[in-house]
Amino acid sequence: MDRRYFERKKGRVEIIPMIDIMLFLLVFFIMITIQMIPDQGLSLQLPQSSEAKQLPRPHMTINIQKDGTVVVKNHHYDLTGLQALIARDGDPGKTVITIAADKQVPYQDFIHVMDSCQKAGASDIGLAAKAS
């Protein structure tokens, strides 16, 4: 009488858990890569501040050039177009906006841009400055 307590089984490679892990790694890699793509800004002469702080990454950066031109993600907008862009951004009340204005921009142009942001419903508006 031959008793076998431990039967020999041929090993199998389970493919479905490997596919799950590979898809998880792929999604993780894509999410990290998207976070690393910087929002392209313009070369501006920002005003200096002794109290400037590093803020969380802004959702939308609005650049105001010396001549008053408004640029967002390499596209030029007038104030009406800027207001429409912010309003289309899902929930404007949760949109984080950073305004980077050249230090030679007239204050009135800066105020017009802020007014357009507020008319669109954005309330979380930050100002860009260089730490001195």
Extents of the domains making up the chain: 48-131
What pTM value is reported for the model?
0.56
* pLDDT at position 23: 93
Q: What pLDDT score does 35 carry?
A: 67
Architecture of the CATH domain 48-131: 2-Layer Sandwich (3.30)
CA pair distance 95, 87, nearest whole angstrom:
10
- The 3-class secondary structure across 11-72, one letter per residue, is CCCCHHHHHHHHHHHHHHHHHHHHHHCCCCCCCCCCCEECCCCCCCCCCEEEEECCCCCEEE
d(CA 24, CA 114): 41
Residue segments in the chain with a per-residue pLDDT below the cut of 50: none
- Kindly compute the dihedral angle of the four CA atoms of residues 97, 94, 114, 63, in this order, to the nearest 10 degrees: 20
Q: How does DSSP classify residue 113? A: H
Query: What was the pLDDT predicted at 9?
Result: 75
What are the tens digits of pLDDT across the range 71-89?
888 888 888 888 888 888 7
